[in-house]
Amino acid sequence: MPDRQLPATDTVTLPVAPYGDLRVLAKPNPATGALRCLVESATVTGIFTLEPHFDPDDIDPDTTQLKIHYGDELPTGAHTGTYRPHRPLISGAIQLVDHSLIDARNPHGRTPPGPRIYHRDTTSGHRRARVPERVARHVHAIIAALATYWLQRPDLDQLRHTAARTLLKHTGLRRKQTIIAELQALIAARQHELDTHQAQLARMTELLANPDGTNPAAA
């Protein structure tokens, strides 16, 4: 059964205390389950891409793990997100890179102040570097607001289901099938070993019970 069509673009205003309101133009990708969020405020512009995150060994469509990419979805064929297009620009000076992985139920993280945030450092050969603490606090507040919005969307189940199917289409079932086959072979080997030990125990028990060597069953 094909996935139902995801709703079109949604425009919302999210409070991001103490930094003021954040205007968000959110558009789901019906092919991947990602949510493209074009944001704008007095100090932030750019795109945050929200994507459900799964344990590849246990793809749970009810996940609350959320990967927030700093920038737009990758073009077809691209394999790295360090320099995604339309990356968020903070205060007109700091452009974010990479992504953050959070639990949308607790977006600030178990150990404050939250996940590490990186930018492209033009003073060190454009290598990735951690943003200043004041900027990190600002970004943490933004991604917390976006995560809460994502978790409350009426199409959340569709987004997660679509993302889970997309991942499964990419990874396939071979790895899980291989693990199961290996476990079944191990169980069969252990069962054979168990049967051998049980037979040996029965023989030794019979020897103890018949010191003269007679076979009670043959008497």
Do 15 and 111 fall into the same domain?
A: yes
> In 10 A of CB 58, how many CB atoms?
8
Q: Which residues contact 154 (CB under 8 A, 6 or more apart)?
A: 7
Residue 112, preceding peptide bond in cis (omega within 30° of 0): no
Spatial distance between the Cα atoms of 97 and 196, rounded to a whole number of angstroms: 60
Q: How many angstroms separate the Cα of 20 from the Cα of each of 41, 46, 89, 92? A: 8, 17, 16, 17
Pair 163, 179 in one domain: no
- The amino acid sitting at 98 is D
Has residue 57 got a pLDDT over 90?
no
In a domain, 5, yes or no: no
pLDDT value at position 173? 80
Domain count, the chain: 2
Which of 135, 155, 171 is the endpoint of a domain? 171
**Residues facing residue 119 across a β-bridge:** 96, 129
Q: Hey, which residues does 106 pair with through a beta bridge?
A: 103
194 and 156, same structural domain?
no
Contact present, 35 and 149 (Cβ < 8 Å): no
Encode pLDDT of 75-127 as tens digits. 776 666 556 889 999 988 888 998 999 999 988 765 555 788 888 766 655 57
Q: Reduce the DSSP state of residue 76 to 3 states and report it.
A: coil
pLDDT digits (tens, 9 = 90+) for 143-191: 999 999 999 999 999 999 999 999 888 887 888 888 889 999 999 999 9
The range of the structural domain enclosing residue 210 comes to 174-218
Instruction: Say whether pLDDT at 23 is over 70.
Output: yes
The answer to whether position 2 is within a domain reads no
Task: Tell me the residue type at 75.
Answer: P
d(CA 120, CA 207): 78
Residues 28 and 115 in one domain: yes
Structure tokens at 19: 């930094």
Give yes or no: residues 158 and 195 share one domain. no
Q: Are residues 119 and 191 in the same domain?
A: no
Residue 74: CB atoms within 10 Å: 15
pTM over 0.75: yes
User: Same structural domain for residues 14 and 104?
Assistant: yes
Q: Is residue 65 part of a domain?
A: yes
Q: Tell me, yes or no, whether 105 and 131 share the same domain.
A: yes
Task: Specify whether the backbone of 150 is left (phi greater than 0), alpha (psi in -120 to 50) or beta.
Answer: alpha
